[in-house]
Amino acid sequence: AQSVTQPDIHITVSEGASLELRCNYSYGATPYLFWYVQSPGQGLQLLLKYFSGDTLVQGIKGFEAEFKRSQSSFNLRKPSVHWSDAAEYFCAVGASFDFAGSARQLTFGSGTQLTVLP
Amino acid sequence: EADIYQTPRYLVIGTGKKITLECSQTMGHDKMYWYQQDPGMELHLIHYSYGVNSTEKGDLSSESTVSRIRTEHFPLTLESARPSHTSQYLCASSEPAQGARGAPEAFFGQGTRLTVV
């Protein structure tokens, strides 16, 4: 069974500082990996996803993530954090898709709450 | 902007009441999901559907039920709400896998925050 671990429950950074959110996964095959962001009172928005190919993935809002198979990690990074980035961030792993239409997908981590100081 | 909508956004009800949480999407997606999210906890899949008249229970046991009579509509019902049902419920839908295009994106509604008193 797949699983996702986000070791940091809460991270606080100053505006303009760099950011790295950690994500480790457990999956028996090549995973599909996702980062979602959830602002207060809002649904989840996809930041980026990894399927195959280049292990450094660029996403929206200036975020990027790097897939490291040897470390089973998919850490999210941003060089300079903005106050509007304060939110909760979820890493998720998806099972391989079969074209018969398996609906099961997306196991989520417990989330990392990001606070941005002015 | 994702076209998936959940109503109500917030609901406070008394124990024993029957409630239905609505979820609709206008993207024509066959796959739809319900997740339950408690504060500070991960999202747990409680129901999913891969098309009309198809529903399955997810990883987390739930006393709720779902139906999928139309592609765009995936309501979740609690026959008799209890305080233990207090949580946030997130609905999602996704497009089918597109082969070399990679993993499909799941679109989420804004959630329904349910409080049972």
Q: Which two tokens stand for residue A102?
A: 């398996």
Instruction: Name beta bridge partners: B114.
Output: B11, B87
The number of beta carbons lying within 10 Å of the beta carbon of residue B107 is 22
- Residues B50 and A103 sit within 8 Å (Cβ to Cβ): yes
Looking at the predicted structure, is the pLDDT value of residue B52 above 70? Answer: yes
A44 in contact with B, Cβ within 8 Å = yes
How many angstroms separate the CA atoms of A93 and A72, rounded?
Answer: 11
How many angstroms separate the CA atoms of A49 and A53, rounded?
Answer: 12
How many angstroms separate the CA atoms of B77 and B89, rounded?
Answer: 11
pLDDT at A100: 34
Residues in A closer than 8 angstroms to B53, CB to CB, are none
Instruction: Tell me how close the Cα of B101 comes to any Cα of chain A, in angstroms.
Output: 9
Q: What is the pLDDT of residues A12-54, one digit of tens each?
A: 999 999 999 999 998 767 778 899 999 887 788 889 988 777 8
Q: Which residue of B has its CA nearest to A10?
A: B40
